[in-house]
Amino acid sequence: MTEMQGTAKRSLAQSDPFARTPSNAIVGRMWNVIAWNLAALLALIPVALLPLRRNTGRDAAYWAGLFLAVVVPLAWALGQQSDGWQTNLSADLWAGIAGSMAVFGLIAVINRQAWRLTPLLVPYMILLGLLAALFEFAPAEPLRETVPAAWLDLHILVSMVTLAFLTVAATAALASFLQARALKIKRPTRLSRFLPAVTESERLFERLLIFSELILAVGVASGLAMKHANTGSAFSFDHKSLFSLIAFVTIGLLLVGRRVCGVRGQIAARVVLVAYTFVVLGYFGVKFVHQVLLS
């Protein structure tokens, strides 16, 4: 009887190519994932190249390229989360890219000088996109949080918005640093001529840091609340919580220092970049170690 059943299954498989649906579905999903990664990466390239044009500006070509660079990564990031929050490194990277590009697009519309950060921000997003594509199939860790779904959604959303604002703020700080350095050594480059003026960059990253600090405060508070719900103690810090708290304190001290002591120039830019490094380590570094190096 068993032999007859096996023969029948083999005959069905030969006559019906969809009899092996699970393996076909896996292969199809892999190609779909590869295609979306490639599409999201390619969508970032046009706006990265536009500043290389002669007499480039905030024209229709730039806005079309920026729209493409926002919509496609955002669609891919949302698509990855359609079945619930994904915990793998690639999904986090694409969420960070999509959020950063969306926030940058909004700021570029509001601030007439912010678009000049494009040669710094978009290549960085492309680099993150390459890493996301490279680690797409790295094993994910199970989501262990036991808090209500709405609370978890709020915490993750706050975290992504914070990361997006800090990414643009760090880009403005880097622009300020490069401009100040070019002026100091009296060797302006094509890049430094394109970037915003030092005062414009400093004014921009200070405003973004204020927003980031307020949102980060909510993120730290919600993170501690989740820790308390899971472990019974709000102060059982993991690496992500610790790095986020260090970044929160660092940004706070910088904002106070700028108001009280007049901290400006390259010192302020370096502090912003250090704070952003802690945030990146907390958001992506820990997952890279667990899912890539230790997997």
Instruction: List pLDDT tens digits, range 177-196.
Output: 999 888 888 888 888 889 99
The pLDDT value recorded for residue 18 is 39
The pLDDT value recorded for residue 22 is 58
pLDDT bin (cut points 50, 70, 90) of residue 246 is confident
The pair phi, psi for residue 156, each rounded to 5°, is -65, -40
d(CA 270, CA 281): 16
Is the alpha carbon torsion for 280, 281, 287, 291 positive or negative? positive
pLDDT bin (cut points 50, 70, 90) of residue 15 is very low
36 token code pair: 């979306």
Q: Which of 237, 246, 236, 241 lies closest to 278 in space, CA to CA? A: 246
Contact 72, 39 (CB under 8 A): yes
The tens digit of pLDDT for each residue in 107-143 reads 999 999 999 999 999 999 999 999 999 988 777 666 6
Least confident of 60-74, 80-94, 195-209: 80-94
Residue 293, pLDDT > 50, answer yes
pLDDT bin (cut points 50, 70, 90) of residue 264 is low
The pLDDT value recorded for residue 45 is 95
